[in-house]
Every structure is written in C-alpha cells, then in structure tokens.
Amino acid sequence: MSCTIIVGGFFGDEGKGKIVAHIAHQDHPTVISRGGVGPNAGHTVLVGKKEYGVRMVPSGFVYPKADLCIGPGVLVDPRVFLREVAEVEVSGRIFIDGRCGVIEEEHIARDKGSEHLAKTIGSTGSGCGPANSDRVLRVARQAKDLPELAPYIIDVAEKVNQAIDNGEPVLLEGTQGFGISLYYGTYPFVTSKDTSASQIAADNGVGPTKIDDVIVVFKAFPTRVGEGPFSTEMSLDKSHALGIQEFGTVTHRERRIGTWDGKMARYSAMINGCTQVAITGIDRVDPTCFGATSYDQLSQTAKDFIRQVEVDVGQPVTIISTGPELSQIIDLRKKR
C-alpha cells in the first residue's frame, strides 16, 4: 500500500485525469487528493459516452469508492466548485481543506483585465494569478471563511496522512505541467505556482518521506496553451495534416502541438523525482495502436518510441494510453 503522486511532465493536458482514473480503478485508493494551482486546470474525463470537464473536483471522481479532497495549497473558486458538485456524483465524499485560498470575482476581473496576464502570458482568466498574489500578501480569504463551503470543510492534510499511516493506498493528483511551473518552467510564461511533485505533496500536507511513487505523465506529442517558448513546436498546418487538433478544457483555445522532447522529459523527470512514466497518445505515433490493451499488440514503431522514452527519461514506462476511453490502456506495472 502506498502514496503515489501523478504529475504532468510537459506543459499540462498530458492526460493525467485518465491515468488517475485508471490507477484508481486498479489500486482502490481510499483517498484521492488534489494539489496544483486551482480552477485554471481542466480535466476532461470520459465516462461511458458522457464527457465531463472538471476544474475543481479531482479527476479521480470517476472511481466511486474514494473520498475526494482538495488540499490546502489549492485555490478554490466556490462558484466553480459548487456547480461541479451539483453535476458529478460526489456528494458526501468530497472535502476541501479550510486553509485553501479563495478566488473572488474580483480576482477573475483582474486576471482578464490585465494586459500582462491576459495577453502577454495568455493566462486562463480564472483568477488564479491574482488570488495567489493576494494569498502571498496575506489578504485573501480562506475556504473556512465562506458559509456556503462549510459542509465540505475538513483538515485534508490530517485525513490524507491518516490514510497513509493506516497503510491505505492514496493518490495525490497534480495539475498543470512541469513546463509551466513558476520555479522550473519557461518564466515568465508560467502559472502562479510550482507544479512539480514536491509541490503537489506540499499542497496536501504530505512530507517527502511518505511518497512511494511519482508517476510522470508525458504526451507522445506534447501540447501547450497560452504564450511562451515551445522548442519542439510544429506549425498548426503540420499538426492538422497529422490529424492532431486539440482545444483547451477551460478556455477552448486551440492547443499548440509539438514533437517528443527527450531533453525536457529527462529534466522534468529529474525535478519530479520520477519513478515511473505514463505515456499518452501512443496512437498518434502509430494509429494501428489505437485501443490496444496489451504490449504485444503494439507495432514495432510504437515499441521503438517507448524504448526511446525510457532511454531519454531513465525510468521505466509502465502505463501506455492508447485512446480516450478508460479501457484503452496498457498497464505494465505488475509485470515489472
């Protein structure tokens, strides 16, 4: 039984949500707790035929047996949170730490109204930057100050640590991606907080000695939304010709597409303390791999790609996503 962190290795939108959902169904965590910035994150989760875009509820919600938490480091937008709680099946098992910083309407207005944030950086306009800045200035409200959040407030750090100490499996869900970390990303074209595994642990009040595994999720073809450097970016014409086109969950902006960046993957894995790699979008490397559920079904092209990832990163690829549905996945964790 263990505590596992799942983080994005490139610029976000690597498909962490699906990896979390898969691992949850396999490993039966009692608690899935979210770290990361706040509602600037968007996880698209496909459950059967229905698609959900969650921004506050942990993407592990599709696994019905886990309690879901939002760690104290995360910003909460009460409007977004309450809307999602009404939409998805989480009542009675979702909790917010009372210390979470609160996003006010005014933060959203400041985010959208700032030339620097909205235009130069290309922020999501969700108020996260201004809210984190108010938190650092110690003028932000906390979740425990809002009566409408009272039914959800607990000490998340206490709950998560208790589960770990009881030997129960726990998942800590990261958001965003390494390349937009405030500390390690392409500053100033970054989000308003670190996004690495250590931050996700800190966001939940879990000390480094209690983390057993860090799964870094990489997209075969990385993407980036918003402004900033992207060394392996290709033209949109080229990505469209390859049949790749994506839009952001939060802002619906078209995502910029690039090719595999081994150098970035290696650096990202180092800072994240990666122990295992998950690869998403292998069907874009070779469309014949779409929907594969075992390693043997992969083509030589796909196997060569995975081997290259392992050489670049220096850690084993243990999970390979082969399509959008939960069942379209290869899990090599038990065999290794």
User: Which string of x and - marks every residue 30-69 that binds Mg ion (by CB under 5 A)?
Assistant: ------------x---------------------------
Residue placing its CB nearer to ligand IMP in the complex, 124 or 275: 124
Angle at 266 between CA 264 and CA 267, to 5 degrees: 65
CA distances from 37 to 124, 173, 182 (A): 12, 12, 11
Count of residues in the chain: 336
Annotation marks residue 13 as catalytic: yes
Q: What b/e sequence results for 233-262 when a residue is b if at least 16 CB atoms lie within 10 Å of its CB, and e otherwise?
A: bbeeeebeeeebebebbbbeeebbbbebbe
Binding of ligand IMP by 17 (CB under 6 A):
no
Active site residue 43: yes
Site for ligand IMP in 181-210 (CB under 6 A): 191-192
Q: How far is the CB of 37 from ligand IMP (least distance, A)?
A: 6
Sheet strands (E) in the chain? 3-8, 31-34, 43-47, 50-54, 67-70, 75-76, 94-97, 101-102, 153-154, 170-173, 213-219, 223-224, 256-257, 276-280, 317-321, 329-331
Name beta bridge partners: 44: 53
Q: Which stretch binds ligand IMP (CB under 6 A): 89-97, 120-128, 149-157, 328-336?
A: 120-128
Amino acid identity at 200: I
Per rule CB under 6 A, is residue 306 in the interface with ligand IMP?
no
- Joined together, the tokens standing for residue 304 give 């060569």
Q: From the list Mg ion, ligand IMP, none, which binds 40 (C-beta under 5 to 8 Å, kind-based)? A: ligand IMP
Of 6, 37, 164, 202, the one binding ligand IMP (CB under 6 A) is 37
Which of 22, 43, 67, 134 is catalytic? The answer is: 43
Residue closer to Mg ion (CB basis): 20 or 149: 20
Residue 13 is a binding residue for ligand IMP (CB under 6 A): yes
Residues that bind ligand IMP (CB under 6 A): 12-13, 37, 40-42, 121-124, 126, 128-129, 175-176, 180, 191-192, 225-226
Residues annotated as catalytic (active site), given as ranges: 13, 43
